[in-house]
Amino acid sequence: MTGNHSIPPIARWLGSQRIDLAECGSTNDEAGRLARAGARHGTIVIAHAQRAGRGREGREWQSPPGMGLYLSAVLRPPLPLVDVPPMTLAIGIGLCDAARAVGANATLKWPNDVLVDGKKLAGVLVEAQSQGTRLESVVMGIGVNLCGALPEPVTDIAVTLERAAGAPVDREAFIAILLAHVERWVDRYVAMGLQEIIPAWQERMALGLVARATVDGTPLTAWVWGLDDDGALLLRDGGGAIHRVRSGDVEVIRPDGFRAPPELLSTSC
């Protein structure tokens, strides 16, 4: 493994109980079942392959045997239900830092992807389980393309950690690094809230991205500019106006045909 980033201590609670599966439909589904059965905070499920891996908004996550890390965890943070969605940002920071720790030039794409040179390396899926307005548990799913030949449908838009790092990556060592980094940022979010997360996320934000969104019923294509105080995405249009959009209303795309403002390529926001 390579990389100059400091590695935090071994995770204290994340991964305190670990279940390894040869194959499953989805590790998030398995973790959700365990959460409903009373699994403790920090329990993780790792599968060698998934038959029905999924990402945000139900999109398929290609999960062939041995190529990726398919990991989900049961979290029981002392948070109100409304504070669960922004946790995705904190988890993304931890995932990005873990990839950087092994030598990948990783950046973040709102709200839940890790990129290397514009190609998808990893993603996060957070799902809450609740009773009414009371949070019971959070299922945190992480998928990372580790090594090997990517499936044909995604070869132009995805990258493996091994290729991004330029060296072989030891699976178990990376899992330990990942758990430690993610635990650190989840703890920081729970203790200090979004004001601690937003600047860190923007420092790692992929620059020069474009998004399509609908703002007040009008279609908009504009530059990704940063995050608002509540974690919503800020977009800057060609006239310099800033627009605020939330998840479900926006699709981040490749900036083909757009010329980035110079300040976007030299600063985070």
- Give pLDDT tens digits for 150-202: 877 777 889 999 999 999 999 999 999 999 999 999 999 999 999 999 999 99
- Find, among 93, 69, 20, 100, the residue nearest to 175 by Cα: 69
Is 6 inside any structural domain? no
Residues 129 and 247 in one domain: no
Residues 259 and 139 in one domain: no
Q: What does the pLDDT read at residue 77?
A: 97
- DSSP of 32-46, one letter per residue? HHHHHTTPPTTEEEE
Q: What does the pLDDT read at residue 266?
A: 46
Is 134 inside any structural domain? yes
Share of the chain above pLDDT 70, in %: 85
Phi, psi of 186 (to 5 degrees): -65, -45
Q: What does the pLDDT read at residue 19?
A: 97
Which residue, chain included where needed, has tokens 């950690």? 161
Is 189 inside any structural domain? yes
Cα–Cα distance measured from residue 54 to residue 26, given in angstroms and rounded to the nearest whole number: 7
Of 11-15, 69-73, 254-258, give the lowest mean pLDDT range.
Answer: 254-258
- CB atoms under 10 Å from CB of 227, counted, come to 24
User: CA torsion sign, 196 to 78 to 107 to 242?
Assistant: negative
Q: Which of 168, 188, 203 is a domain's end point?
A: 203
Owning domain of residue 141: 17-203
Q: What does the pLDDT read at residue 134?
A: 92
Q: What does the pLDDT read at residue 76?
A: 98
Compute the half-sphere exposure of residue 126: CA atoms within 13 Å on the CB side of its CA. 22
Residues 185 and 71 in one domain: yes
Q: Which of 152, 169, 203 is a domain's end point?
A: 203
Residues 107 and 174 in one domain: yes
Q: What does the pLDDT read at residue 1?
A: 42
Confidence check: pLDDT of 256 > 60? no
Q: Which two tokens stand for residue 66?
A: 């041995």
- Find, among 136, 134, 123, the residue nearest to 74 by Cα: 136
Number of domains in the chain: 2
Could you give the dihedral angle defined by the CA atoms of residues 106, 109, 111 and 112, in that order, rounded to the nearest 10 degrees?
-40
Q: Which two tokens stand for residue 179?
A: 């758990």
54 contacts: CB under 8 Å, gap ≥ 6: 26, 28, 60, 61, 125
Confidence of residue 129 (pLDDT cuts 50, 70, 90): very high
Is 113 inside any structural domain? yes
Q: Between residues 49 and 174, which one has the greater pLDDT? A: 174
Q: Between residues 255 and 48, which one has the greater pLDDT? A: 48
Cα–Cα distance measured from residue 70 to residue 64, given in angstroms and rounded to the nearest whole number: 10
Confidence check: pLDDT of 8 > 70? no
Residues 22 and 110 in one domain: yes
Phi, psi of 165 (to 5 degrees): -85, -20
* CATH label of the domain that carries residue 256: 2.30.30.100
Of 90-99, 188-197, 259-268, give the lowest mean pLDDT range.
Answer: 259-268
* CATH label of the domain that carries residue 165: 3.30.930.10
Which residue, chain included where needed, has tokens 């030949």? 149
Is 1 inside any structural domain? no
Helices (DSSP H) in 118-266: which residue ranges? 161-165, 171-192, 194-203
Cα–Cα distance measured from residue 267 to residue 82, given in angstroms and rounded to the nearest whole number: 30
Q: What does the pLDDT read at residue 264?
A: 52
Which residue, chain included where needed, has tokens 């009414």? 132
- Give pLDDT tens digits for 62-91: 456 678 899 999 999 999 999 999 999 999
Confidence of residue 267 (pLDDT cuts 50, 70, 90): very low
Q: What does the pLDDT read at residue 45?
A: 97
Q: Which two tokens stand for residue 91?
A: 């988890």
Q: What does the pLDDT read at residue 51?
A: 80
Q: Between residues 2 and 229, which one has the greater pLDDT? A: 229
256 contacts: CB under 8 Å, gap ≥ 6: none
Residue 167 φ/ψ region, left for φ over 0, alpha for ψ in the -120 to 50 degree band, beta for the rest: beta
Q: Which of 203, 221, 246 is a domain's end point?
A: 203
